[in-house]
Amino acid sequence: MPNPTAAMLVIGDEILSGRTRDANMHYLAKELTNFGIDLKEVRVVSDDADAITEAVKTLSSAYDHLFTSGGIGPTHDDITADNVARAFGKNIDVRDDARAILQAHYDRQGIELNKARLRMARIPEGATLIDNPISAAPGFTLENVHVMAGVPKIFETMLASILPTLTGGAPILSQSLAIMRGEGDIAGPVRDLSERYSDLSFGSYPFQRNGVFGAQVVIRGSDGARVDAAMSELCKAFPE
Amino acid sequence: MPNPTAAMLVIGDEILSGRTRDANMHYLAKELTNFGIDLKEVRVVSDDADAITEAVKTLSSAYDHLFTSGGIGPTHDDITADNVARAFGKNIDVRDDARAILQAHYDRQGIELNKARLRMARIPEGATLIDNPISAAPGFTLENVHVMAGVPKIFETMLASILPTLTGGAPILSQSLAIMRGEGDIAGPVRDLSERYSDLSFGSYPFQRNGVFGAQVVIRGSDGARVDAAMSELCKAFPE
């Protein structure tokens, strides 16, 4: 059975202006690969209502899961929750369970749960909350869309609480071999191998080490014995 | 006049599997902002012919420019050039000028220009070559699509040679203020300010410093005097 598929949607002007370097894409990619969910596509859009809504509609219907990052804080540019609700035609309002979580958090700190902070309790109808042990404001899952914070530590914690609730497939195993030849010398043999092992995926990633060209050849698949067999053949073709 | 718009398409299984962390998106975002081109959307897709073709069609028609990164090497998984050609219904084949560049490069190194390396001379009809002083294999511009290598040093060099040939708009100026209050205290005043300065864009980016919550508020716009005025008001609202 093929693995479940996923897409990611990163939301935020600060990524597209180059002010902030996104860290969540790389983290999610590694975690999903280990869990056996295939990340097929990532999109980054600005804090624009239509752009978010359209991307949520397209990606949530094309893949088994959609993970979003960013835009769920208390400020005017945090419009992710509203537009995820809109994409599914759901109402959104302050929800009692989310408000209670925020109230308890701010009471402990002696901080007022003001109007801006209360925005973070706006949850679409039918959504399940995602716990945020760091700063309380919850994420949520609506249908197959998992809405998480953009701050990396919070994103990572939220992902850790969702993943065990999902169905993973076979984790993708990979082996790699660094070959100190130009990629152009490696390409032919790797292509032949990839045709005979069509159930595996082959990648070739060029690098330079002390001025000499080499390439890292990576063989990936869910069947460990097949990956082993292909790697043995590759090693024979390029003995060091 | 509004600034020209752009999208980026990152191509490669290695990014989506988490094996490689993309560096080109953040670099391009900063460079385009400085040049006065607004990066509106980024997509990351795998080494899949249909995924690449569809993304090129959609993004090149929605924005003034599309910059691509990755998939133009000599190996079997390098299929970007073919699918950019396909997106525009253009033929693609080994082109004499590109072959001559590669031939000279490999002759100097005493390396054979074999069949795999010759793949890198496949250029769609009507495209303009983009110089690659590092490893010779050229990128190209076809219509409004700029096809560049994924290796960051080469991507950066190629971008440096294209940018001066494009028309930039007004560079986006930004000023930021770190405010040591929770984002929830900042949200209300920043929203008011953003409504009165609707020609500017306001972002708020939370952080923690020594256990204390703060937020970096960023004001962006192309009119320096307006950015100054809004920042003065922000400083008055949050005197330290």
Nearest CA distance, A141 vs chain B (angstrom): 22
Q: What is the spatial order of strands in the sheet that A212-221 belongs to?
A: A173-179, A212-221, A201-209
Q: Do B26 and A18 touch (CB under 8 A)?
A: yes
pLDDT at residue A112, rounded to an integer: 92
pLDDT at residue A129, rounded to an integer: 97
Contacts of A10 in chain B (CB under 8 A): 42
How would you classify the pairing of strands A38-45 and A5-11?
parallel
Structure tokens at B57: 């069609």
pLDDT greater than 90 at residue A81: yes
Token pair 């009165």 in the structure block, residue:
B196
Contacts of A14 in chain B (CB under 8 A): 203, 205, 218
Q: Report the C-alpha gap between A240 and B41 in whole angstroms.
A: 44
Q: Do A41 and B40 touch (CB under 8 A)?
A: no
Q: Report the C-alpha gap between B123 and B217 in whole angstroms.
A: 45
Q: Residue A170's pLDDT band (boundaries 50, 70, 90)?
A: confident
Spatial contact of A46 and A76, defined as CB atoms under 8 Å apart: no
Which among B15, B17, B73 has CB closest to A183? B73
Each residue of B153-197: pLDDT tens digit? 999 999 999 999 998 888 888 899 999 998 889 999 999 999 999
CATH of domain B5-165: 3.40.980.10
Contacts of B206 in chain A (CB under 8 A): 73, 135, 151
The third-level CATH classification (topology) of the domain covering A173-237 is Alpha-Beta Plaits (3.30.70)
Contacts of B22 in chain A (CB under 8 A): 25-26
pLDDT at residue A106, rounded to an integer: 93
**Secondary structure string (H, E, C) spanning chain B:** CCCCEEEEEEECHHHHCCCCCCCHHHHHHHHHHHHCCEEEEEEEECCCHHHHHHHHHHHHHHCCEEEEECCCCCCCCCCHHHHHHHHCCCCEEECHHHHHHHHHHHHHHCCCCCHHHHHHHEEECCCEEECCCCCCCCEEEECCEEEECCCHHHHHHHHHHHHHHCCCCCCCEEEEEEECCCHHHHHHHHHHHHHHCCCCEEEEEEEEECCEEEEEEEEEECCHHHHHHHHHHHHHHCCC
The mean per-residue pLDDT over the stretch B136-154 comes to 96
Which among A14, A29, A116 has CB closest to B16? A29
Query: What's at B208, amino acid-wise?
Result: Q
Burial A28-58 (b: 16+ CB within 10 A, else e): bbebbbebbbbbbbbbbbbbbeebbbebbbb
Contacts of B41 in chain A (CB under 8 A): 16, 43-46, 51
Q: Do B26 and A21 touch (CB under 8 A)?
A: yes
Sign of CA dihedral B82, B85, B89, B95: negative
Q: Do A185 and B51 touch (CB under 8 A)?
A: no
- A133 contact partners, CB below 8 Å, separation of at least 6: A157
Each residue of A57-66: pLDDT tens digit? 999 999 999 9
Contacts of B119 in chain A (CB under 8 A): 187
Q: Report the C-alpha gap between A49 and B18 in whole angstroms.
A: 29
Token pair 């999902």 in the structure block, residue:
A166
pLDDT at residue A91, rounded to an integer: 98
Q: Do A206 and B73 touch (CB under 8 A)?
A: yes
The mean per-residue pLDDT over the stretch B16-44 comes to 95
Q: Do B184 and A42 touch (CB under 8 A)?
A: no
Q: Report the C-alpha gap between B125 and B128 in whole angstroms.
A: 9
Percent of chain A predicted with pLDDT > 90:
80
Residue of A104, A113, A31, A119 lying closest to A74 (CA atoms): A119
Each residue of A92-119: pLDDT tens digit? 999 999 999 999 999 998 999 999 999 9
Q: Residue A2's pLDDT band (boundaries 50, 70, 90)?
A: confident
Q: Do B187 and A75 touch (CB under 8 A)?
A: yes
Phi, psi of A195 (to 5 degrees): -75, -35
How would you classify the pairing of strands B65-69 and B92-94?
unpaired
pLDDT at residue B27, rounded to an integer: 97
The mean per-residue pLDDT over the stretch A127-147 comes to 96
Enclosing H/E stretch for A229: helix A224-237
pLDDT at residue B89, rounded to an integer: 98
The partner residues of B205 in beta bridges, in order of sequence, read B216
How many CA atoms, within 13 angstroms, populate the side-chain half-sphere of residue A106?
Answer: 21
Q: Do A42 and B16 touch (CB under 8 A)?
A: yes
Query: What's at A44, amino acid-wise?
Result: V
Q: Residue B212's pLDDT band (boundaries 50, 70, 90)?
A: confident
pLDDT greater than 80 at residue B1: no
In chain A, domain spans: 5-165, 173-237
Average pLDDT, chain B: 93
Which among A38, A44, A202 has CB closest to B77? A202
Spatial contact of B122 and B94, defined as CB atoms under 8 Å apart: yes
